[in-house]
Amino acid sequence: MSTVASSRSGLDPRELHALIGVSERHLRALAGASIMITGATGWFGVWLLDAICAADDLLSLKLKIVAVSRNPGRFLSRFRGFAGDRRISWIEADVRNLEVSRSGFSHVIHAAADTTAGPDPGAQRHLFDTVIDGTRRVIAAAGPQCKSFLLVSSGAIYGSPKTPGYRFSESQSGGPDPSIMRNCYAEGKRAAEQLCAIAAGEGMPTRIARCFAFVGPHMPFDRHFAIGNFIADAVRGSPILVKSDGRPMRSYLYMSDLISALLAILAEGASGRPYNVGSDKGFTIEQVAHCVNQVVGGSGVIIQGDRSDPGDQYVPDTSRLARELNVSQRVGLESAIARTAAWYRAHVRPAVT
């Protein structure tokens, strides 16, 4: 590939070009594909759209894309590079009520679902219904010609770790406590995986990506993603506030590595088989905060939270992904932080002088 990739959402063209190079075999497997992407305007969705369109530009894949979003107009007003792209047809819909006028998609990436809800039961029910009813609708819309259906699931389906230092494995049994209302997202994802297992039994090739924690451009910087809050604090020149005692364990995978993994699973994953996607290199939240402070050049770290559960850890075992699909982490934590902070300065907040 001699032409530099062109980003439609403000990603670094060099990063996008490198991602396409790493995933070229999996992208070429999509040649001539008709792809439906749900959640197309979310954090994962914008990366997927940008990468797939850029790959089509470079590799002449002759793709057709149907993008599902609750508000495509708002997205297109923000990212005008996607407006008028003849490869993309937009469906404005909540996936719970998805109606598709045609079927026969060769590939489907189901990435629609909020990850959090408000504390009231109505919000929790809405999130639960969106995950389950949305998955049922998207499976129905995929059609009998679907060659690969990828469910973007979550590591939340595992529940609590068994021992300190534990890395969640796809072979782990058990799950979160279904009697606790706040587990509605995790239980919804478990049920969505069951729907995919049923579809696989009926002959539809379904794949499952159990996604953990990520960092990179387009991430929310003001929600429940600790590393995003830390980066925003540091870029603004404010102290990094850790709203716990800093002991919870997390790992973070850069977004280009996530997209590379999703494309590999879509193209070559075994039907009905889940794959953990994330970084297997765990750090305490305090370590992450200090790393952000050092890389970005912040003004210090303040630990202000109460004592946390020593078993609060969220780190995957990714050996299945590496062994079966030859996918591994390429971008380390410090580089991921530096790239994300540079993007934040350029696109979210004016440069600090």
Provide the residue ranges of all domains of the chain, joining segments of one domain with +: 13-213+254-280+315-331
* Residue entry with tokens 């770290």: 301
Distance CA 100, CA 103 (A): 7
Bridge partners (DSSP) listed for residue 316: 168
Judged by DSSP in three states, 71 sits in coil
Distance CA 45, CA 234 (A): 27
pLDDT by residue, tens only, the chain of 353 residues: 547 789 999 999 999 999 999 999 999 999 999 999 999 999 999 999 999 999 999 999 999 999 999 999 999 999 999 998 999 999 999 999 898 766 679 999 999 877 666 678 888 998 999 999 999 999 999 988 999 999 999 999 999 886 777 899 999 888 999 999 989 999 999 999 999 999 999 999 999 999 999 999 999 998 878 999 999 999 999 999 998 899 999 999 999 999 999 999 999 999 999 999 999 999 999 999 999 999 999 899 999 888 887 778 999 999 999 999 999 999 999 999 999 999 999 998 654 43
What are the structure tokens assigned to 270, written together? 């075994």
* Residue entry with tokens 């603004």: 236
Residue 332 is which amino acid? Answer: G
Domain range 13-213+254-280+315-331, CATH architecture: 3-Layer(aba) Sandwich (3.40)
pTM of the model: 0.95
